[in-house]
A and B are shown apart, each in its own frame.
Chain A
Amino acid sequence: MAFVLDFEKPLVELERQIGHLRRLTRERDLEVDSEIGPLEKKLDDLRREIYEELTPMQRVQVARHPRRPYILDYVAALFTDFIELKGDRLFRDDPAIVGGWARLEGRPVMVIGHQKGRDTKENLRRNFGMPHPEGYRKALRLMEMAARFNAPIITLIDTPGAYPGLGAEERGQAAAIARNLEVMAGLETPILAAVVGEGGSGGALALGLADRVIMLSNAVYSVISPEGCAAILWNDASQKERAAEALKLTAPDLLELGLVDEVIPEPPGGAHSDPERTIAALGEAVRRHVEELAKIGSKRLIKPRAKKYMEMGRFAER
């Protein structure tokens, strides 16, 4: 049984009916096209309707959908010659982050991202896409290498957050994220970050300090999970809808706040309903931004990058 979100249940029912009619057409040679047509239209309309009115928490559910394209799916479809590089040269290789050399329309680039698992076994190995410090240190090693060889860096973000565990703390989770931010601010090569699923706080930002930040329309980016926020503020994790609403974590919200540069529309039923189209849409934007950034001299990137972040924030003056 495929994974179904609660608000998608009416769609599944319609899909089941259409499937049934199709089977009838095939098996009994019945002429039911006239009935299938309107049903399909109804399905499309309903899907569009549901997806146009997603609540923030529903978007979080879509962003976490287990059939959503993951980083290696984007890498396989949008790049050629991907050569994965592993390890931070200090402790171990962290499979929650993948990265390596690849070509984007022939141009050598460094592509790095969080990687979730498709099944329990892979999720255990990849720690559900929650990196340890060695993951961030591997990413940093690859980014510094890219800058040395004048290759643009493309980061793809999809993580619940940096892992909050004993080993992670012992090996300096905070210091690792802080180091990435400090070094990324000064890298003399273009950086493009794309939030494609969950943008889980500091664990996401550690790959996200970039010249351009783009985001899929149902991806989310937040300072804390809605569940965590609700637990802290109202002592009740079940108030997550209220928290998701308040946190302004959806792509349109972030575009309005000036925190992301572009939102890439997903297909009407979300990225999981049509991964191929989603990946193609992201690919178009990635190629366009990389091409634009590559025209800017590598020495002339750092100041505008600093300015971009200096302008983020909203406050009053007495």
Chain B
Amino acid sequence: MPWFRKDRKPRRPSREKLEIPADAWEKCPECGHVDIRDKFEQALEVCPECGHHRRVAVQVYIDMLTDEGSFSELYNELQSSNPLGFEGYTDKLARALRKAGSHEAVITGSATLEGDELNLGVMDFAFMGGSMGSVVGEKIARLARRSVEERVPLVMVSRSGGARMQEGVLSLMQLAKTSVMISALKRERVPYISVLTDPTTGGVSASFAMQGDVNIAEPNAVIGFAGPRVIKQTIGQDLPKGFQTAEFLLEKGMVDMVVPRVQLRATISNLLKMMQGR
């Protein structure tokens, strides 16, 4: 038997092939880093490699910014109707209710943080792009009014494309409505911290989200008045890299700081204590 016809032994895997479910892995959309899903989850959806912050569910912020079991939801009886009879809006609402975990684009409630009382609102981008209509404005204004009446600090976590088109000028007036209550909060010297996450634009950035005593942005969040697409159309050229990011706003003086998600709780707790003389 010639040497080149030597029988080959069948190859055998050195160890048993593991059955790995497809969703056990997660890939960072920014740097392409692939890691175990659990690792992303433990890091609050921040990439362990490059620090890119991904959008997370409302509940993640509620858990992050309140003491365990202390959050009690307020005003969840309010729901959007279709006040202008805007075509397609009723269906869109029904779909949003099914798809998003929340029953409106903002969840509001009272809680404690490191033992101190606070009122917390968290917007849900999954519910019609976090858009602000009558209900969102009403919930935030009521929460702010509660903060004034009880002298309890307010924290808002924003992410929204802006005012909800389908409620027309009713939506636009929610900018004014939330602003009159934030204005009262300032007059009564009750602390208000605004956390701007990805993305915060339009009517929300042009009202309560930019009115914090302290404005905190999350890393790499897109924050601005006009959306990047509209600006691109207006000026007819591409936007500079990093335009309208949290880091850009920090440099331009529009936010106080860019805080990684893992430090958000400690930063807010500490700020609120100092603003209340402790």
Q: Which A residues fall within an 8 A CB radius of B?
A: 162-166, 168-175, 177-179, 181-186, 201-202, 205-206, 208-209, 221-224, 228-229, 232-233, 242, 246-249, 254, 257, 259, 305-306, 309-310, 312-318
Q: Which B residues fall within an 8 A CB radius of A?
A: 76-81, 83-84, 86-88, 133-135, 137-138, 141, 145, 163, 165-177, 179-184, 186-187, 201-203, 205-211, 223-226, 230-231, 234-235, 239-240, 243-244, 252-254
User: Considering only CB atoms, which chain A residue lies closest to B171 in the complex?
Assistant: A223
Inter-subunit contact A182/B183 (CB<8 Å): yes
User: Considering only CB atoms, which chain A residue lies closest to B134 in the complex?
Assistant: A313
Across the interface, B252 reaches (CB within 8 A) one of A170, A224, A305, namely A170
What number of residue pairs across chains A and B have CB atoms under 8 A from each other? 201
The CA-CA distance from A170 to B174 in the complex, in Å, is: 25
Inter-subunit contact B180/A249 (CB<8 Å): no
**Known interface pairs A164-B225, A178-B207, A209-B176; A222-B168 also in contact (CB < 8 Å):** yes
The CA-CA distance from A174 to B222 in the complex, in Å, is: 13
**Known interface pairs A175-B254, A178-B209, A181-B176; A202-B184 also in contact (CB < 8 Å):** no
Across the interface, A314 reaches (CB within 8 A) one of B83, B172, B184, namely B83
Inter-subunit contact B174/A313 (CB<8 Å): yes
The CA-CA distance from A179 to B87 in the complex, in Å, is: 34
Inter-subunit contact A313/B231 (CB<8 Å): no
The CA-CA distance from A156 to B203 in the complex, in Å, is: 21
**Known interface pairs A164-B231, A178-B206, A305-B180; A313-B172 also in contact (CB < 8 Å):** no
> Measured between C-beta atoms, what is the minimum distance from A223 to chain B in Å?
4
Query: Which of A175, A184, A209 has its CB near the most chain B CB atoms (within 10 A)?
Result: A175
Inter-subunit contact A315/B211 (CB<8 Å): no
> Measured between C-beta atoms, what is the minimum distance from B209 to chain A in Å?
7
**Known interface pairs A222-B169, A223-B165, A259-B169; A315-B252 also in contact (CB < 8 Å):** no
**Known interface pairs A182-B211, A202-B206; A164-B79 also in contact (CB < 8 Å):** no
Across the interface, B169 reaches (CB within 8 A) one of A165, A178, A254, namely A254
User: Considering only CB atoms, which chain B residue lies closest to A247 in the complex?
Assistant: B168
Inter-subunit contact A257/B169 (CB<8 Å): yes
The CA-CA distance from A182 to B208 in the complex, in Å, is: 9
**Known interface pairs A164-B231, A169-B224; A315-B78 also in contact (CB < 8 Å):** yes
> Measured between C-beta atoms, what is the minimum distance from A207 to chain B in Å?
12
User: Considering only CB atoms, which chain B residue lies closest to A313 in the complex?
Assistant: B134
User: Considering only CB atoms, which chain B residue lies closest to A161 in the complex?
Assistant: B226
**Known interface pairs A166-B231, A178-B205, A315-B81; A202-B168 also in contact (CB < 8 Å):** no
- Interface pairs (11), CB distance under 8 Å: A169-B225, A169-B231, A174-B201, A174-B206, A177-B225, A201-B203, A205-B176, A222-B172, A309-B173, A309-B180, A314-B83
Inter-subunit contact A314/B134 (CB<8 Å): yes
Chain A residues with CB under 8 A of B253: 172
> Measured between C-beta atoms, what is the minimum distance from B17 to chain A in Å?
47
Inter-subunit contact A314/B210 (CB<8 Å): no
The CA-CA distance from A161 to B3 in the complex, in Å, is: 84
Inter-subunit contact B202/A233 (CB<8 Å): no
Inter-subunit contact A202/B225 (CB<8 Å): yes
**A178-B179, A309-B179 given; 5 more Cβ-contact pairs under 8 Å:** A172-B252, A178-B209, A181-B183, A309-B173, A312-B176
The CA-CA distance from A167 to B203 in the complex, in Å, is: 19
> Measured between C-beta atoms, what is the minimum distance from B31 to chain A in Å?
26
Chain A residues with CB under 8 A of B172: 201-202, 205, 221-223
Inter-subunit contact A316/B80 (CB<8 Å): yes
Inter-subunit contact B231/A317 (CB<8 Å): no
Inter-subunit contact B181/A310 (CB<8 Å): yes
Chain B residues with CB under 8 A of A185: 176, 179-180, 182-184
User: Considering only CB atoms, which chain B residue lies closest to A232 in the complex?
Assistant: B165
**Known interface pairs A170-B252, A171-B252, A318-B79; A223-B168 also in contact (CB < 8 Å):** yes
Query: Which of A169, A171, A184 has its CB near the most chain B CB atoms (within 10 A)?
Result: A169
Across the interface, A181 reaches (CB within 8 A) one of B77, B170, B179, namely B179
User: Considering only CB atoms, which chain A residue lies closest to B142 in the complex?
Assistant: A310
> Measured between C-beta atoms, what is the minimum distance from B192 to chain A in Å?
10
